[in-house]
Amino acid sequence: MPLAILKSTTEAVKRLRAGHLVIYPTETAYALGADATNQKATRKIFQVKSRNKSKSLSLIVASLAMAEKYAKFSSSAKQLAKKYWPGPLTIVVPAKTKSIAESVISKDKTVAIRVSSHPLARLLSQRLRHPLVATSANLSGHSNIYSARSLKKSFAGAPETIYLLFGGTLPRRRPSTIVVLKNGKLIVLRQGSIKVKGIRN
């Protein structure tokens, strides 16, 4: 099915609350999103992307305060968030499992979360009042997407309508850096937009 273009964040929030999938811009690429508290909606993500269900999904929130409602932050993780959020740093922290959908939580009961530096991504989460799934808007294993033309081509065979909150053609950037803190030690799971040396300083 073709993508349906949304004219405002208000429309996007309505679609998300109804359990639909919405593509939206972030500071790194377009993301395929759903209400992260909606189990049925988050499961659709795996179907649409042909993604292995063993792979967890990252989340975007409006603020650190919102993140703390859905995940447990150590003092070190909180300091890291305060230093680099909003921005392309995803932090893996223990999930508050009763607050979000099971399909976004890893087997070790953690969740990967960040506050995006893209204003539309933050605004969506703020108005939804929930975390947003923030997986790359592409088929699993394919390159990140930065334009409406590529999005339409990639999701032409989607089993249901996917909605697009268009934010223009995005600059090509690396994905977010993903880190986890274990026993006070910082471990980089994926090197991305933020350099490792910058984090460790």
Q: Beta 4-6 vs 30-33: how paired, if at all?
A: unpaired
Give the containing element (helix H, strand E) for 15.
Answer: helix 9-17
How many domains does the chain divide into? 1
Q: Out of 52-56, 119-123, 148-152, 165-169, which region has the weakest mean confidence (pLDDT)? A: 52-56
- For 61, the domain range is 4-200
Residues 21-74: tens digit of each pLDDT: 999 999 999 999 999 999 999 999 999 998 888 888 999 999 999 999 999 999
Contact 48, 42 (CB under 8 A): no
Q: Out of 109-113, 154-158, 182-186, which region has the weakest mean confidence (pLDDT)? A: 182-186
> 197 pLDDT exceeds 80?
no
How confident is residue 183, by pLDDT bands cut at 50, 70 and 90? Answer: confident
Beta carbons within 10 angstroms of residue 134's beta carbon: 28
Q: How far is CA 58 from CA 53, 110, 160, 182, 184, in A?
A: 13, 10, 22, 19, 22
3 state SS of 181: strand
pLDDT of residue 190: 94
> Residue 84's closest CA among 188, 1, 7?
188
pLDDT of residue 2: 74
3 state SS of 133: strand
pLDDT of residue 140: 86
Q: Between these two residues, 124 and 103, which has the higher pLDDT value? A: 124
* Cα–Cα distance for residue pair 112/165, rounded to 1 Å: 23
For residues 132-155, give the mean pLDDT.
92
> Residue 60's closest CA among 148, 133, 7?
133
In DSSP terms, which residues pair with 35 in a beta bridge? 132
> Which CATH number is 39's domain given?
3.90.870.10
> 104 pLDDT exceeds 60?
yes
Q: Beta 163-165 vs 4-6: how paired, if at all?
A: parallel
Contact 29, 51 (CB under 8 A): no
**How high is the mean pLDDT of the chain?**
93
For residues 154-164, give the mean pLDDT.
92
Burial class (CB in 10 A: 0-12, 13-18, 19+), 90: buried
Rg (Cα) of the chain, in Å, rounded? 16
